[in-house]
């Protein structure tokens, strides 16, 4: 029973993808979003190196 549900979903997904690929410009748009995702991941890695570190200082002096 579970295999039939997965198989059915798989076929529906394949059908949806093939229909989407026939839409003009959609493949190009998907490529742009894929490239954007790659750039975002690379920039996160780069920026994480330069993230400021929090420095806490406690003082017990009283005036």
pLDDT at 2: 58
Q: What pLDDT, on the 0 to 100 scale, is given for residue 57?
A: 75
Tell me the residue ranges of DSSP E strands in the chain. Answer: none
**Distance between CA atoms of residues 50 and 18, nearest Å:** 43
Quote the pTM value: 0.45
Whole-angstrom distance, CA of residue 52 vs CA of residue 34? 29
pLDDT at residue number 35: 96
Decide: 39 and 33 in contact? Cβ < 8 Å: no
Cα(14)–Cα(7) distance, integer angstroms: 10
Q: What is the pLDDT of residue 37?
A: 95
pLDDT tens digit at each of 63 positions of the chain: 556 666 788 889 999 888 888 888 988 898 999 999 999 999 988 888 777 777 777 777 765
């Amino acid at each position: 029973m579970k295999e039939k549900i997965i198989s059915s979903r798989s076929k529906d997904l394949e059908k949806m993808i093939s229909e989407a690929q026939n839409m003009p410009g959609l493949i190009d748009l998907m490529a742009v979003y894929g490239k954007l995702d790659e750039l975002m991941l690379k920039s996160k890695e780069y920026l994480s190196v330069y993230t400021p570190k929090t420095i806490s200082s406690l003082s017990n002096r009283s005036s």
